[in-house]
Structure 1
Amino acid sequence: MKLSEVVWAWRRRRWLRWLLSAVGISCTACAVAWTLLPVVAFDNPISTALLARDGQLLGASIAADGQWRFGEPDSVPRKFRVALTLFEDRRFEHHVGVDPTALGRAIWQNLKARDVVSGGSTITMQVARMACGNRPRTVVQKLWEIALALKLDQACSKEKILRMWAGHAPFGGNVVGLEAASWRYFGCHPHSLSWAQAATLAVLPNAPALIHPGRNREKLLTKRDRLLDRLHDEGHLDSLSCSLAKRESLPDRPCPLPQLTPHLLARYGPASAQKWEQQGGLGLVHTAVDAHVQVQATEVVSRHIEQLRGNGIHNAAALIIAIDSGDIVGYVGNHFDPADNEHAAWVDIIRAPRSTGSILKPLLYASMLESGEILPAQLVPDIPTRIGGFAPVNHSGTYDGAVPAREVLARSLNVPAVWMLHAHGTYHFIDRLRKLGITTLTRPPDQYGLALILGGSEATLWDVVNVYASLARCVNLNDTSGNLCLSPGVCFATLEAMTDASRPGAKHQWRQFTSSEHIAWKTGTSQGYRDAWAIGVTPRYAVGVWVGNATGEGRPGLTGHQAAAPILFELFDLLDGCGWFIEPCEDMAALEVCKHSGMRCGRDCVATETLRVPLSAYPGQTCSYCRLVHCDANRTWRVHADCASISDMVALPWFALPSVIETYYRRVNPDYRPLPPFRSDCQDCIDEPFEPAMACIYPPDGGMVYVPTELDGKVGRVVFEAIHHRPSARVFWHLDDAYCGCTQETHQIELSPTAGEHLLTLVDDAGAEIRRSFGVLAGDAH
């Protein structure tokens, strides 16, 4: 081999090595570049848009940059997808992000016209362009978009690319994305678009600044109709459908977005403008709100507030929750009037802590049943009461002596409820409320005291309705796991006690709000008539209503059953009816109870009945009001062994209440039989172990008495009262050891004690004595 040939061969091999190296380096660089090439993504701020259960728009907030941008839809409607791909990129399903045929045609058209008349961009390239911020069209930019499109097509599905386009394409003005455009221009969900509407939105992003709806309508109409003809030619529309679609008018101007749930929308918004700029909105938020119920519930609340405004009541809220799912069906955060800047229309009352009034009484009843401390029909004292420095009174200002525990709920009696809480314990009850879901009880229990059950605490409508919904859910699911901290039997008994059927009749005017639906319900009124509540429960729904003023201003007549209950029952009329709860038989038991006291039947009970009670309350306390009473043979007088022979005695079972309770109980229960008096020869040696024969009703021991000053400057008079089992007994009254007088039959006396501390002493004709210490606050008659 010649030297020249050797040199040539060597040089050729070296050239090949360089070529192979260059190719390798280029391939490596391309692979690295491809790997490092980003997949386009969007970081534009988006709006928050709430959708109802059926997809209807409930409300939306504008994005931080002033655009109506709802983000990427869950899916692209078929009509819009067909119209878009036919107009923008007919080979979208088959190319790899770039359409060489379209690019070649665009280059030829641009060269021929010596201007940019066609871009040749695919939908994928348009997504890349939008993600880059729609930069000026240059060759370098176009090459960059091609690379990004190739990468995007390789990384994402065609469906995902379409959703990205539909979420970020400009539709004119400040409307961005298919969802926002559909609601702004046509007032409907994208999946409800007609062919004409879908074609209009498909051509609009091609030049949104030039052919915005409302301007250049002829150009927009021409483009839309041309696309409809192409849809007809491709077989997507028949001739009649195409002709009818062309007759549809274009939108005149953007539609105002609905504001059906402004307060619920605000819950999904940022806590501050700074947070909004950092995090943006949430895009499309799917809720379980029933749009039809929401519209009607808002109308009901607004109509009632219009009527209540004459009394200076300006705010109301309502919450409707589905029992089984816990979904929010209706959310009226407040009576909403955008033009009302004086009455806090923007305040979401549902989440605002308000005084509870009596709305927690059923939960106390349930807690005592769960702890086995009471039975549904058990009598609870309803008498003038003072515990420590707390002296509750009933709304009516009257007392019944004793009422069944379940009737305490039906009539919302304050004094028996305080007795129940005193027996149950404030610490125990607050612990139970916290476990049930009341989140506003943040203070130590001793700061609430017994006033807790009468509105001495705050709760939100959200917490309260959810707690009552959980009671119903426990019964529906028959959940015995204890997750609720109440058993199904207790929940069932509590709801039964809340039904209208177990409430008094016209005397207490509860039936004027009856509904055709069987509903467990409770009202509440806070101190000073500031908050009116009404809560109702069925096996399917829990509904809560609050009425009042967001400022806390009280108004006369602002009570639960006058202001809130009518709204409650109108809301239930909007909902699907259903039957009543099925009794959780395995968590209930039959118990024989005293027909008079409601306690577990004792051996001396006069009459008994069998009731179904929760297992946790079984068997309950034995009746302490029924006992054997010894009478003479004629059963007219009471006797005892010291004044009559045993053979002449008759032992009778008798329902006898303590003296103070009996005094008030007899007034509303005329069939009550008081104990017969002792025979005259037996009174000198009475040994009555049951209770003292005499009791002082007023003043309370250790209490304060207000004595006004009369117009003439003299100290006014106050009526003190006592009772005695013997109608003929005489009672001698002494004030600070000074004799004041004697009473018989009706033991009332008017006295004029001066300001300061005093001691009242009562002595009957048998020598029994009662002492009461009390203080006097003197006041001006003016």
Structure 2
Amino acid sequence: MKLLTSLLKLGLKLTILGCLLGGIALAGAYYYLAPKLPDVQTLKVVKLQTPLRIYSEDNQLISEFGEKRRTPIQFEQIPDNFINALLAAEDRNFFNHIGIDIKGLARAAFQLASTGHIQSGGSTITMQVAKNFFLTRERSFLRKFNEILLSLQIEQELSKEEILELYINKIYLGHRSYGIQAAANIYYGMNIDQLSLAQHAMIAGLPKAPSAYNPITNPSRALERRNWILKRMHSLSFINDEDYETARTSPVTAEYHGTQIDLYAPYVAEMVRNELYQYFDDRLYSDGLRVYTTLNSEMQTAANKAVEDGLLAYTERHGYFGPEQKAAVTDLSQESIVKSLKQQRTYGSLSPAIVLETEKQQASVYIKGIGVTSLAWEEMNWAQEFKGPNRTGKKPKQTADIFSPGDLIRVRLTANENWRLSQIPKVQGAFTALSPDNGAIKALVGGFNFNHNKFNRATQAQRQPGSNLKPFIYASALEQGYTPATLINDAPVVFHDTNLESNWRPENYSKKFYGPTRLREALYKSRNLVSIRILRSIGIDTATEFLTRFGFDKTRLPNNLSLSLGSADVTPLELVTGYAGLANQGFKVNPFFIDRIEDSEGNTLYQAQPMTVCSDCVYSPDASEIPSNLTALQIQPETDSDALSIPLESDQAAEESKEEPAEVSTNLQPVSGQQITTLPLAERTMQPHTAFMIYNIMQDVITRGTGRRALALKRTDIAGKTGTTNDQKDAWFSGFNSDVVATAWVGFDQPSTLGRREFGGTAALPIWIDFMKVALSDSPDLPAAQPDGMTSVRIDPKTGLLAYPGQENALFEVFPEDSAPTDIAPNPAHTNTAGSSQTDEIF
């Protein structure tokens, strides 16, 4: 007994000594390691890597760029069911322990001692936060000890709610998802608060091993892990019997969901990414920036559809290229078809399909993602063989004339919910719409489909605008003193140029000549010879200077008379920017697409300050009259705000022209006492009376000229101009009212003829109309008000003079008061009447 007592006393002393030595060792280790530990205070201001997100002006998500998909949420947004599932799976005593779980650590130590290997770390959620934010994933005693020390410090500095919030936003959960909100989006296409109990448990099972328990790549193991968590939740009384049984028997519903895009605008998204990368470098993809563009979601959606419909209509007019791939599958089993279609992408509304069976005038097809359906004859009998831009083969009489079983084709769903045979167009298009008040881009489409071809024709394709450039030549002439009633001779002209192999003999498209023609009529009928004579009269230098006021690049404007026919090089964006100056009563605006940039906390880093039209301001060239309170609101970004602008580019030419304006000061400022704007004021590009006259003339393009199709809009305030280049290589329409200005272009990337029956009014104008139906649906019909100093008088349409009394074919025409005709046209019924002769120059 004495021996036993002695042994017990010795054991106790050794134990005390061991604890003392262990405590000293631990204390020493603590004081040695503690100074080297990172500061846990940084967790209070931690910046999680989140992707760049791009939105429309009305908060619709356009795109997301970044390797890590993460959407941080606050603790209050975490559903109770998920918290309980996570505690059951990872750390049931989280809300009670001090950062470490003594029992868990003891269990881990015992496993190590008994097996010689680290089997579990006994980690708490706090310890995982410490590891994820501060430590490596190395499995060592030193790292584990640092983890314990950090956990204790974290618990001293942060609340349990803050710790859990950090954890659920930081953890990796597979398929590039970081944090539970991103995981809910990727696996279920919903937010975390929309998921069921079974789905919460599924996500709660991922932190342990995102690959092993992934419900997409390993559904059986994921189901096993989910049900174990549900059983734990039930045993811990987190859920009742009924909820447990319902969740346990729920099927695995996870499938991959990409980024949920609200608005399809990939060309603009790429413009934003490219613009900002030069300022933020790779931080652009991880700093959680939110960029709000100027896009209007309704207008962008309308532009997407209008361009696609317009290009598909063109391609149907010119015949069928044939199946995209003959005999794509020889085995028509569902497995073989699905495998084959999996390799094909859907472009816009064009879905890939395999032909299953052909009857006389009907076909059965298998559509990717849809399954088996039928094509009616009226949805494919358009498919005459394409033989060139001006020729097609015979009309098909039966389905076998078009395709065969096993062929890969394209189909699209029509407005009537019928599937229609289609094809990927070879022709391309571009569309841009701006606010004429400040140049904000409201819609932009750079081609048929971004995934098919990423070249942005709206900003990069330099093409000739043809007659689309004529309104600027004519406006230049009006500024020089011409009037809408000025007569110009539409007659043949030959130009001799030693630089050319032969003489230049320009013609009207009709090959006819019409003699003395009023300026108004020449523009809306797009008379080439009148345009040339006008340009020759006002001078090329005068016209070029006038064009540069609207943003056109002088280096891409030809220094010869072909400028009157639109032989410049312009991009659709540059052209629509110029037209904005015609739409806003004569002010220069610059296009922009980034409205503001916010950091991950919602702080504004950049706010656009566009040059803005102030139609109620009175402008004066005297700088001394600038009011002292005329200041611009400037919110500085971290980068150079002035650099966030769109470089303009150019494109092509072909039909009409006119005369030039008086010099306009580029330093015009609002006069003191008038309405003041807090944004920089747009400069005036032409006088108000010039702006009104050119707008009024361009309205006639719609009512009686080449743009008559736009009468379908049933509006009186729209104006525009068609444009078609030589050999119909480019088709344009640019038009506007006071709210929206838009340009549509159609052509081939490698310029070639669209076909002899394709013009601006047939290929481009329908796109513009379809867009404007939506863009102007809520806009009142308000034609521009006539400015002061103008008058409207009745004139003789043949001479441009005042109409004689009782003249039945007289027309009303607008003039600046000091330019209105004073002579009366001779009455042909009174040959001896002493009427004044025509005094306007005919040359």
TM-score grouping bracket, smaller chain normalisation: 0.5 to 0.7
CA distance in 2, matches of 1:431, 1:158: 69
Structure-to-structure mapping, 1:207-222, within 5 angstroms? 207-214=209-216, 215=218, 216-219=221-224, 221-222=226-227
Whether 1:651 and 2:834 are equivalent positions in the alignment is yes
Which of the numbers 447, 472, 475 marks the counterpart of 1:363? Answer: 472
Q: Give, in angstroms, the shift of residue 139 of structure 1.
A: 4.5
Answer whether contact 2:466 2:567 (CA < 8 A) is retained: yes
Instruction: Report the secondary structure of 2:564's partner residue.
Output: helix
1:417 aligns with: 531
Structure 1 residues 651 and 546: alpha-carbon distance in aligned structure 2, compared to 1, 3 A threshold: closer
CA distance in 1, matches of 2:280, 2:780: 46
Structure-to-structure mapping, 1:628-647, within 5 angstroms? 636=831
Structure 1 residues 574 and 621: alpha-carbon distance in aligned structure 2, compared to 1, 3 A threshold: closer
2:766 aligns with: 566
1:375 aligns with: 483
Amino acid in structure 2 at the alignment position of 1:579: P
Q: Give, in angstroms, the shift of residue 315 of structure 1.
A: 1.0
Instruction: Report the secondary structure of 2:430's partner residue.
Output: strand
Q: Give, in angstroms, the shift of residue 456 of structure 1.
A: 1.3
CA distance in 2, matches of 1:416, 1:33: 83
2:652 aligns with: none
Whether 1:498 and 2:698 are equivalent positions in the alignment is yes
CA distance in 2, matches of 1:601, 1:154: 93
Instruction: Report the secondary structure of 2:684's partner residue.
Output: coil
Instruction: Report the secondary structure of 1:360's partner residue.
Output: helix
Whether 1:185 and 2:187 are equivalent positions in the alignment is yes
Instruction: Report the secondary structure of 1:116's partner residue.
Output: coil
Q: Give, in angstroms, the shift of residue 187 of structure 1.
A: 3.6
Any gaps of 5 or more consecutive residues in structure 1?
A: 1-22, 638-649, 662-782
Q: Give, in angstroms, the shift of residue 543 of structure 1.
A: 2.6
Q: Give, in angstroms, the shift of residue 47 of structure 1.
A: 5.8
Instruction: Report the secondary structure of 2:143's partner residue.
Output: helix
Which of the numbers 704, 708, 730 marks the counterpart of 1:510? Answer: 708
Whether 1:526 and 2:725 are equivalent positions in the alignment is yes
Q: Please, which moves more after superposition, 548-557 or 466-475? A: 466-475
Amino acid in structure 1 at the alignment position of 2:463: R
Q: Deviations over 1:369-390 (max 9, x none)?
A: 4x35233444443332346655
Any gaps of 5 or more consecutive residues in structure 2?
A: 1-26, 113-118, 319-387, 390-425, 498-503, 587-612, 620-667, 669-681
Q: Give, in angstroms, the shift of residue 651 of structure 1.
A: 2.7
CA distance in 2, matches of 1:537, 1:598: 30
Answer whether contact 1:393 1:415 (CA < 8 A) is retained: yes
Amino acid in structure 1 at the alignment position of 2:105: I
Structure 1 residues 551 and 233: alpha-carbon distance in aligned structure 2, compared to 1, 3 A threshold: same
Which of the numbers 292, 306, 311 marks the counterpart of 2:312? Answer: 306
Answer whether contact 1:228 1:246 (CA < 8 A) is retained: no
1:348 aligns with: 456
Structure 1 residues 244 and 127: alpha-carbon distance in aligned structure 2, compared to 1, 3 A threshold: same
Answer whether contact 1:533 1:544 (CA < 8 A) is retained: yes
Structure 1 residues 57 and 656: alpha-carbon distance in aligned structure 2, compared to 1, 3 A threshold: closer
1:770 aligns with: none
Instruction: Report the secondary structure of 2:713's partner residue.
Output: coil
Answer whether contact 1:105 1:120 (CA < 8 A) is retained: no
CA distance in 2, matches of 1:335, 1:654: 56
Answer whether contact 1:294 1:330 (CA < 8 A) is retained: yes
Q: Give, in angstroms, the shift of residue 210 of structure 1.
A: 2.3
1:169 aligns with: 171
1:548 aligns with: 747
Larger gyration radius, structure 1 or structure 2: 1
Whether 1:116 and 2:120 are equivalent positions in the alignment is yes
2:403 aligns with: none
Q: Give, in angstroms, the shift of residue 172 of structure 1.
A: 0.9
Structure-to-structure mapping, 1:334-483, within 5 angstroms? 334-336=447-449, 338=451, 345-352=453-460, 353-369=462-478, 371-386=479-494, 389=497, 391-438=505-552, 440-443=553-556, 447-469=558-580, 471-473=582-584, 477-478=614-615, 480=617, 481=619, 483=682
Amino acid in structure 1 at the alignment position of 2:223: E
Amino acid in structure 2 at the alignment position of 1:347: F
Amino acid in structure 2 at the alignment position of 1:185: Y
What is the root-mean-square deviation in Å for CA atoms of aligned residues?
5.4
CA distance in 2, matches of 1:376, 1:228: 83
CA distance in 1, matches of 2:95, 2:110: 26
Paired residue total: 591
Amino acid in structure 1 at the alignment position of 2:727: G
Q: Give, in angstroms, the shift of residue 594 of structure 1.
A: 6.2
Whether 1:100 and 2:98 are equivalent positions in the alignment is yes
Instruction: Report the secondary structure of 1:317's partner residue.
Output: strand
CA distance in 2, matches of 1:217, 1:84: 16
Answer whether contact 2:99 2:151 (CA < 8 A) is retained: no
CA distance in 1, matches of 2:255, 2:167: 23
Amino acid in structure 2 at the alignment position of 1:361: K
CA distance in 2, matches of 1:174, 1:450: 59
2:383 aligns with: none
Answer whether contact 1:530 1:555 (CA < 8 A) is retained: yes
**Alignment TM-score, normalising by the size of structure 2:** 0.57
Q: Give, in angstroms, the shift of residue 568 of structure 1.
A: 1.4
CA distance in 2, matches of 1:157, 1:417: 77
Whether 1:69 and 2:68 are equivalent positions in the alignment is yes
Q: Give, in angstroms, the shift of residue 542 of structure 1.
A: 2.8
CA distance in 1, matches of 2:296, 2:250: 30
Q: Give, in angstroms, the shift of residue 396 of structure 1.
A: 1.8
Q: Give, in angstroms, the shift of residue 212 of structure 1.
A: 1.0
CA distance in 2, matches of 1:375, 1:526: 27
Structure 1 residues 452 and 201: alpha-carbon distance in aligned structure 2, compared to 1, 3 A threshold: farther
Answer whether contact 1:320 1:330 (CA < 8 A) is retained: yes
Structure-to-structure mapping, 1:80-91, within 5 angstroms? 80=78
Which of the numbers 555, 560, 579 marks the counterpart of 2:780? Answer: 579
Structure 1 residues 382 and 77: alpha-carbon distance in aligned structure 2, compared to 1, 3 A threshold: farther
